[in-house]
Amino acid sequence: MAKSLLIVESPAKASTLKKFLGSDFTVKASMGHVKDLPKSKLGVDIENKFTPSYEVIRKKAKVLKELKEAAKNAVAVYLAPDPDREGEAIAWHIAEEIDEGKAEVYRVLFNEITRKAVLDAVKNPAKLDRNKYESQVARRVLDRLVGYRLSPLLWNKVRRGLSAGRVQSVAVRLISEREREITAFVPEEFWTIIAKLQGESNEPFEARLVKIKGEKAEVRTKENAEEIISALKGAQFQVTGIEKKERRRFPPPPFITSTLQQEAWKKLRFPVKKTMQLAQRLYEGVELGDEGSIGLITYMRTDSVRISQSAIEESRDLIRSRYGPEFLPESPNVYKSRKEAQEAHEAIRPTYFDKPPDAVMPYLDKDIFALYEMVWARFLACQMLPALYDQSIVDIASGDFLFRATGSRLKFQGFLVVYIEGKEDKEEGDEEKVLPDLKEGEGLVLLGISHEQHFTEPPPRYTDASLVKELEDKGIGRPSTYATILSTIQERGYTRKEKGRFHPTELGFMVTDLLVESFPRIMDVGFTAGMEEHLDEIEDGKAGRVEILREFYSAFEEDLKKAHVEMKDLKTKGTPTELKCDKCGNPMVIKWGRRGEFLACSNYPECKNTSDFVRDKDGKITAVRREESQEKCEKCGRPMAVKRSRYGEFLACTGYPECRNTRSLFRDQEGKVRAEEVELTEEKCPKCGGRMIIRRSHVGARFLSCENYPKCRSAKPMPVGAKCPSCGGDIVERGGRKGLFYGCINYPSCRYTSREFPASDG
């Protein structure tokens, strides 16, 4: 009997859907996109209405062949990739490739993978959405035009291997400009003055100086602070005003993609990419024992806070039974989405209200459980009453000086019984601070007075959470693209993360400056946001793809022509410095190589002198004297010298550029440089069959790697002939920030480590 065919992107999603569709359906996975623009050429016919030349992705040829065969024997084909632009593109490309002669082709959409949602979608299929597909094609073509035109320009002007992106480059600009704000920031000193007071209740409390002679208190120096304290010693203090009010703290709305990403960073310290990977698994389905694969949350790429009526009713029933009717508002809480949100989607919420976190915890690993628990709690909270606080503000006068004490007491938990929002660093919370009972006109006793020095602080560097918020607020990209943006700007070496915060690299600064100067429109935040609105207009059928692309490209092409002539040529000329060549006296310039920045003589090729350098905190450049080692180049016999790159130290032949030989290095306990030890073993590589080699890392830890590196990157730790006292696994050499140590091969399930060489099995 012929079956219907339903096609999704991933095997996990296919596994979950099979349970709902029964024996009448065959469910297949496309494994993502099956077609894309070619890698080796532009793939866009600019003269012919910017027509893209999509090709079958080489790795997907076999998958596509299987889909075609399945479609030939199907009575109907249902295309069920994710309900967004990317999913629509996948559906269109599959539809173009499968044989439509025998079967009707339908598009099915569902925002949650539950039996009801899936069966309803199959019973009420839709047509492929041409406008949504056109919008995705427009984005893909835009990104290809910018990437394929700008990247070769950067290769010619800076160095090979660089790339630029329409949205990513603007994100790097935001990070670079923030860094320059921080560098230019001049901290200003100020002092706070705190009085410790006591009234008739004999309960001490603190009040802060807020006004002097009716004006805002601005205490700029220690001398000024001490003068005020001196004037207040022995002074009389009196309560002059008391304001008491009830303050409501309303629950946050349910998660959308961007707020999920932000909150996962604040509460769980998950990078955006990790958050989206975990959310994808929760949406597509996770194994819950005998129940099989279950999708626990709704679709995780959404900018709408809309909630279905059934979900509202189920959540209210759960709140009523679990927490009591006193936590429920009379009518459901309703939240308003941003104006550009797609209201066809729902917010991110649990799909099954009979599967609370504690019930599924045994089946989920730590991280995916933490994310599910957060989604669950946030959704319940959004349908609860606000928290209520009694807030007191007390003004206390002493001559020309006015002090203020504030107190806050939580009197009704409301939604806080299930959910408390995460905070970024020094964001203020709602910590309770109860004041004693005071009355207006009451005299107070001064128990002590203190002053504390402070300095104004520069704007903070971006974290995953704050950068996502900035991108969303400025309309750069869309929530579904944020994970890619944040990953790409790090992978390309334009930014790096330190302690969870984004820092621009020197390469990021340089490329940003070049692009801003030559392509002000593309690098303009407002223009980039406007382009996102145009893509939305294409999806809504309000604008045509060709017209939008033609308008963009005409201006872009003019900028491109000028840039080829006018953009600074840092590859040939370099960036000038004040340093002089120690061999010929000509100025040294900064150039870029495969391993990063270096100093080179401006008189090249007559003088080929080069040097590493370092920058201090003010950006001043100092040449680093070349450190020669005792090692000799095995290719030409000349000494090997220590070089530095963003990946660390390495040995390079002093005969460069005639000899370009390099080797890894490590330092012994005395700090002397040693070349990487290489020793062939009889062990075979499990991937390619080559010989495994004993090597050393930069801290001296031995490890095994394939002799065919870099073609084969197979590697594993080096056993030392001892067993772990905790689990019996092999002890291996490892290297960390503090140097060589020994650890169990079963890490992270076994965390045994030792700085001492372990005793052998004997």
pLDDT, tens only, 99-131 = 655 678 999 999 999 999 999 999 999 999 999
The answer to whether residues 34 and 41 touch, using CB atoms and an 8 Å cutoff, is no
Q: Per residue in 512-526, pLDDT tens?
A: 999 999 999 999 999
Separation between Cα atoms, residue 476 and residue 740, nearest integer Å: 44
pLDDT at site 762? 39
Q: How far apart are CA 24 and CA 18, in angstroms?
A: 10
Fold of 189-250+387-455: Topoisomerase I; domain 3 (2.70.20)
Question: What is the C-alpha to C-alpha distance for residues 274 and 265, in angstroms, rounded to an integer?
Answer: 10
Q: Greater confidence, 445 or 652?
A: 445
List every span in the chain annotated with CATH 2.70.20.10.
189-250+387-455
- Does pLDDT of 10 surpass 80? yes
pLDDT (tens digit per residue) in 673-724:
666 556 778 888 888 888 888 877 766 678 888 877 767 888 888 888 888 8
Q: Which residue has the higher pLDDT, 444 or 161?
A: 444
**Averaged over 366-379, what is the pLDDT?**
97
Higher pLDDT, 294 or 340: 294
Residue among 623, 662, 622 at smallest CA distance from 641: 662
CA 556 to CA 527: how far, in whole Å?
12
Query: Can you tell me the distance from the alpha carbon of 287 to that of 294, in angstroms, rounded to the nearest whole number?
Result: 6
Stronger pLDDT, 320 or 493, i.e. the higher one: 320
pTM: 0.79
pLDDT for the residue 379: 97
Which of 139-148, 653-662, 731-740 has the highest average model confidence (pLDDT)?
139-148
Secondary structure (DSSP) of 95-134: HHHS--SSSEEEE---SS-SHHHHHHHHHS-B---HHHHH
Write out pLDDT tens, residues 273-328.
Answer: 999 999 999 999 999 998 889 999 999 999 999 999 999 999 999 999 999 999 99
Determine the pLDDT at residue 680: 75
Distance between CA 422 and CA 252 in Å, rounded? 11
pLDDT at 660: 78
Listed in order, the ranges of the chain carrying CATH 3.40.50.140 are 4-128
pLDDT, tens digit, 9 for 90 and up, residues 614-634:
887 777 888 876 666 777 887
d(CA 299, CA 344): 12
Domain with CATH 1.10.460.10 in the chain: 144-184+464-566
Residue-level pLDDT at 673: 62
Instruction: Give me the CATH code for the 144-184+464-566 domain, please.
Output: 1.10.460.10
Average pLDDT over residues 405-412: 94
| β-bridge partners, 642 | 627, 651
pLDDT at 395 over 60: yes
Above 90 in pLDDT, residue 645?
Answer: no
Please tell me the class of the 4-128 domain: alpha beta
**Mean pLDDT along residues 247-252:** 95
pLDDT of residue 675: 62
Q: Give the pLDDT confidence score for residue 50 in this predicted structure.
A: 95
Annotation marks residue 299 as catalytic: yes
Q: What would the pLDDT profile of 345-369 be if each residue is shown by its tens digit?
A: 899 999 999 999 999 999 999 999 9
Predicted confidence band at 572 (pLDDT cuts at 50, 70, 90)? confident
Average pLDDT, rounded, for the chain: 89
Q: Report the distance separating Cα 468 and Cα 102, nearest Å.
A: 46
Of 54, 283, 299, 419, which is the active-site residue?
299
Instruction: Report domain 258-382's class.
Output: mainly alpha
In this predicted model, which residue has the larger pLDDT, 613 or 407? 407
Asked if residue 761 has pLDDT above 50, the reply is no
**Using 50, 70 and 90 to split pLDDT, how confident is the model at 404?**
very high
Give the start-end residues of each E strand in 697-738: 702-706, 715-717, 719-723, 730-736
d(CA 210, CA 401): 8
H helices of 288-362, in order, are 309-322, 357-360
Could you give the 3-state DSSP secondary structure of residue 711?
Answer: coil
Q: What is the pLDDT of residue 367?
A: 95
Joined tokens for residue 177: 């400009």
pLDDT band at 646 (very low <50, low <70, confident <90, very high): low
Among 138-147, 298-307, 603-612, whose mean pLDDT is lowest? 603-612
From-to residues of CATH 1.10.290.10 in the chain: 258-382
What's the pLDDT score for residue 446? 94
648: pLDDT strictly greater than 80 = no
> Both ends of the chain: CA-CA distance in Å?
67
